[in-house]
Amino acid sequence: MPIYEYACKGCGKVFEEIVLRPSDEAELRCPGCRGRRVAKVMSRPAASAAGGGGGARTRPGCGPVG
């Protein structure tokens, strides 16, 4: 589901909302002051834990082989 980040132009609070349809955006209210003057903000992409670049983690082994 698309989660968007918004900032209230009245009180400055930044919050997230799930918006399924563009028409739902017209009904958004700030959870802090309940104002309707909100604007979508650019948010950072989330980091993914998938893939092989997990850092310097070591796995327990069986000892030397051979």
Is the pTM for the entire model greater than 0.85?
no
Query: What pLDDT was estimated at residue 62?
Result: 65
Q: Is residue 55 part of a domain?
A: no
* Residue recorded with tokens 């017209």: 26
In what side-by-side order are the strands of the sheet with 14-18? 14-18, 3-8, 38-41
The share of the chain scoring above pLDDT 70, in percent, equals: 65
For residue 12, give the nearest of 33, 43, 42 by alpha carbon.
33
pLDDT of residue 56: 55
* Residue 64 phi, psi dihedral angles, 5° rounding: -65, 145
Q: Is residue 61, in this structure, part of any structural domain at all?
A: no
Give the count of domains, the chain. Answer: 1
Amino acid (one-letter) located at 66: G
Residue 47 lies in a domain: no
> Measured at the alpha carbon of residue 11, what is the angle toward residues 8 and 43, in degrees to the nearest 5?
35
Look up the domain containing 30 and give its range. Answer: 3-41
Model confidence band, residue 1 (pLDDT cutoffs 50, 70, 90): low
pLDDT tens per residue, range 35-61: 999 999 987 776 666 655 555 555 566
Work out the average pLDDT over 4-19. 94
Q: Tell me, yes or no, whether 20 lies in a domain.
A: yes
